[in-house]
Chains A and B, each alone.
Chain A
Amino acid sequence: MSIRHTAALAALLLLGTAPFAQAADKPTDPQIAHIAYTAGVIDVEAAKLAIEKSKTKEVVDFAKDMVRDHEAVNVQALDLVKKLKVTPEDNATSQALSKAAAEERAKLAKLDGAAFDKAYVDNEVAYHKQVNGALETLLIPSAQNAELKSLLETGLKIFQGHEQHAEHVAGMLK
């Protein structure tokens, strides 16, 4: 067990996933639900900033896709925690994620035009990569409830799709 945790932690550190690196202990289902929900909210907030600031159709369209998908995932997540009578539990990982996201948003808010587009899309690629790494190595393997695990697995496929979509948009901006 501890070897697997150490390996997962090492993988996260290698990916440069600072917020997740604090989660050395295996998160519980209520914590996993909170982390997954928080990760979705963060991406929706970044997307809303992009919809407001960007004048590039591809970037705005991408951001709208992010809002739509992540809100849909989070509706499912809320339905599931209600059904399972689980109360999502705030934790160090969620807090670190939110803090890092607030810093990123502050950075993005100061940029305009092409500089904003590039910074937003590059961050989307990096952010989805980071969340995917955490889902694969930590959150999915730690989840105890089968339905939660299944929702996380669907979430992983969505996030992997977004990562590829973001890479495609990044390629178009060049």
Chain B
Amino acid sequence: MQKRHLWIALMLAAGTVPARAETIQVTIDRLVFSPATVEAKVGDTIEWVNKDVFAHTATVKGSWEVMIPPKKSASLTLKTAGPVDYFCRFHPNMKGRLVVVP
């Protein structure tokens, strides 16, 4: 929470929300994240579009988890830079990677 407040404060101080925050789609079809690797900037949003009839997750061990219900989408706004590997907790053979630059 603290960090988030600080982040918002910093954005307010800067006067604007980062200008070109994008939404990047990752499709899930037949248990495959596609594209498997995504390059993004801090502030961008990843939107997972689940075409499967199965529930999936995008999970980073010891960090965040996004639940992606069957035939639905779910999003996460990237707050920290760095590469992260994620997987589906229900089907750990599904793997993806986000390379987040500042």
Contacts and interface: CB of A to CB of B under 8 A. Distances in A.
B83 interface: no
A164 B53 contact: no
Given A154-B30, A158-B31, A72 B53 contact: yes
A168 B55 CA distance: 18
A154 B70 contact: no
B8 to A, nearest CB: 34
A157 B31 contact: yes
Contacts of A153: 30
B93 A164 contact: yes
The prevalent SS among residues of A at the interface is: helix
Contacts of A160: 91, 93
Interface in B45-69: 53-55
Contacts, number: 38
Nearest to B31: A157
A154 B29 CA distance: 10
20 contacts: A65-B90, A68-B55, A69-B90, A72-B54, A72-B70, A75-B53, A76-B53, A157-B30, A157-B31, A157-B91, A158-B31, A158-B54, A160-B91, A161-B31, A161-B88, A161-B92, A165-B89, A165-B90, A165-B91, A165-B92
